[in-house]
Amino acid sequence: MSERPAKGQTVEEHCKTEDKKAPAVHIFPEWCKGCGICVAFCPKQVLEMGKDQKAHVVHPERCIECALCARRCPEFAVYVSGDGIKESKNKDGGEK
């Protein structure tokens, strides 16, 4: 996040702009097994394999939140916020 508003921009506007750039896609490295599926099939090349054999979000600004990476990840290691998957209808559940 850039620290100062741009010329002519209010602080509020500046924060809103930065928020929009916050990555929609998150990868949980503890669960990633480095299979490469999310990287290979992202339609916008948002992700790349790192030297640590884990997937990394490298171009978050390109993400269109299609959530194919999340759906195709076998490890439950990829999460796309507001990914078009509707809010859970289930009354049960809760974190364990």
Q: Which spans of this chain sit near another protein (rule: CB under 8 A)?
A: 26, 28, 30-31, 33-37, 40-41, 68, 70-77, 79, 81, 85-96
**Least distance in angstroms from the C-beta of 2 to another protein:** 22
For another protein, which is the closer residue by CB, 17 or 75?
75
**Least distance in angstroms from the C-beta of 87 to another protein:** 7
Query: Which residue's entry shows tokens 């503890």?
Result: 30
For another protein, which is the closer residue by CB, 15 or 40?
40
- List of E strands, 14-94: 25-27, 47-49, 55-57, 78-80
- CA 29 to each of CA 58, 76, 79, 95: distance values in angstroms, whole numbers, following the listed order: 14, 11, 11, 19
For another protein, which is the closer residue by CB, 7 or 96?
96
Which run of H or E residues covers position 19? helix 11-21
